[in-house]
Amino acid sequence: MSTFIPTSIVILVLLAILLIVILLKTAKVVPNQQAYVVERLGKFRTVLYAGFHLLIPFLDVVAYKRSLKEQVLDVPKQTCITRDNVSVDIDGVLYLQVIAPEKSAYGISDYLFGAVQLAQTALRSAIGKLELDKTFEERSTINQEVVAALDAATSPWGIKVLRYEIRDITPPATVMQAMEKQMRAEREKRAVIAQSEGEMQSQINRAEGAKQAAIAESEGKMQSLKNQAQGEAALIETVAQATAEGLRLVSEQMALPGGVAAANLRVAESWVQQFGALAKTGTTMIIPQDLANLSGIVAGLTSVIRHDGGSSVQTSSAGARKEAAENGNGGAPVNVGGFNFTPPRV
């Protein structure tokens, strides 16, 4: 049995294969967020973005494929020297994006490797400008400086550096111990300052409290004295009003018939009581001669009072004594407070 394949079939198969190859080289479907760099006869022709495209087979060739997504690159740890000559190990993360695929293809052979190397160089430069303490405080400043340096250097490569983040800063062990001692001393210093400020504030509060208490006490005393003075003034006013009212009533009563006689009797009784009280003390007294004449005394004490048709006139004590003598009282014994006095005749 012959196994000979007709030439026509072979030709058809070859034509089919050639057609498939031509179709594959002619029709291109570019995925989303991808870009194809097309060369024609070894020369850059165009960039194909997402979608369906037709090429000239065997003339147009997709030379490079680039992703337009944001890419994350790990920047390896490296040793940097600070301004105060301290070695620190620093690593970070770099974020970039291709914005010009043809530049990333023809501007540099490996833009990813070049970006990492530039990031390390820019980081060493930024760290060298700062002292060790500042490297921990100004991370954001270092990140911004690295991004600015990379953005300017990678612009011809068709890539955009979005951000750079320092991941870890590791000083030597000896420096870590010294920093720990410094931090401990700083914490103790702040604690002492806080305690002293608290004591100062406490003393201020106590002094302010004592001041307010003294003010309140003085105000209380002042108010008490004021109230006492007002009370005494009111009492004096009340007594004065009562005295005035009493005098007014006495004056009204004396204006009545027999008022003067009643006043004379009241004055005499008061004199007898007071003189009797002096006599009870057993003290030897020298008294004027006039005091022995009761009628003369009464006349002298009431010399300011006279009733004559409602008017008042003065009566001299001599006239009173004369009246008493005429009435026969002069020289007669007078009992005053339990004691008998015999006044001489006038």
Report if residue 331 sits inside a domain: yes
The last residue of a domain, from among 171, 203, 230: 171
The verdict on 43 and 101 lying in the same domain is no
Nearest to 317 by CA among 332, 304, 331, 330: 304
User: Which residues are within 8 A (CB) of 99 and not within 5 positions of it... i.e. 6 or more apart?
Assistant: 68, 158, 159, 160
> What does the pLDDT read at residue 184?
85
The verdict on 52 and 76 lying in the same domain is no
Tokens 């040793």, residue located: 79
The token duo for 8 is 């026509």
The verdict on 165 and 75 lying in the same domain is yes
> What does the pLDDT read at residue 266?
73
The verdict on 274 and 326 lying in the same domain is yes
pTM higher than the cut 0.95: no
Paired with 343 in beta bridges are none
Q: What are phi and psi of 69, to 5 degrees?
A: -80, 160
Report if residue 1 sits inside a domain: no
Question: Does pLDDT of 263 surpass 90?
Answer: no
Alpha carbon distances (Å) from 314 to 175, 269, 300, 309, 346? 118, 21, 10, 14, 21
* Number of domain units in the chain: 3
Q: What is the spatial distance between Cα 289 and Cα 322, in angstroms, rounded to a whole number?
A: 14
The answer to whether 63 and 37 have CB atoms below 8 angstroms apart is yes
Report if residue 220 sits inside a domain: no
| Domain of residue 155, CATH code | 3.30.479.30
Question: Does pLDDT of 331 surpass 90?
Answer: no
Q: What are phi and psi of 304, to 5 degrees?
A: -90, 0
- pLDDT tens digits, one per residue of 280-306: 666 666 665 555 555 555 555 555 455
Question: Does pLDDT of 252 surpass 80?
Answer: no
- pLDDT tens digits, one per residue of 216-245: 888 888 998 899 999 888 889 888 888 888
- pLDDT tens digits, one per residue of 67-116: 999 999 999 999 999 998 989 999 999 999 999 999 999 999 999 999 99
HEC string of 45-107 equals: EEEECCEEEECCCCCEEEEEEEECCEEEEEEEEEEEECCCCCEEEEEEEEEEEECCHHHHHHC
The verdict on 16 and 93 lying in the same domain is no
Q: What is the spatial distance between Cα 304 and Cα 326, in angstroms, rounded to a whole number?
A: 22
Report if residue 112 sits inside a domain: yes
- pLDDT tens digits, one per residue of 115-138: 999 999 999 999 999 988 888 888
Torsion from C-alpha of 318, 320, 323, 325, nearest 10 degrees: -60
The verdict on 12 and 98 lying in the same domain is no
> What does the pLDDT read at residue 304?
47
pLDDT band at 204 (very low <50, low <70, confident <90, very high): very high
> What does the pLDDT read at residue 290?
57
The last residue of a domain, from among 105, 139, 171: 171
Report if residue 16 sits inside a domain: yes
Q: What is the spatial distance between Cα 163 and Cα 96, in angstroms, rounded to a whole number?
A: 7
> What does the pLDDT read at residue 336?
42
The verdict on 37 and 95 lying in the same domain is no
Nearest to 127 by CA among 147, 150, 151, 143: 143
The last residue of a domain, from among 46, 67, 88: 67
Question: Does pLDDT of 35 surpass 90?
Answer: yes
Question: Does pLDDT of 192 surpass 80?
Answer: yes
Q: Which domain holds residue 56?
A: 7-67
Q: What is the spatial distance between Cα 341 and Cα 333, in angstroms, rounded to a whole number?
A: 5
The whole-number average pLDDT for the span 154-180 is 88
The answer to whether 187 and 156 have CB atoms below 8 angstroms apart is no
The verdict on 40 and 86 lying in the same domain is no
Q: What is the mean pLDDT of the chain?
A: 80
Q: What is the spatial distance between Cα 243 and Cα 99, in angstroms, rounded to a whole number?
A: 115
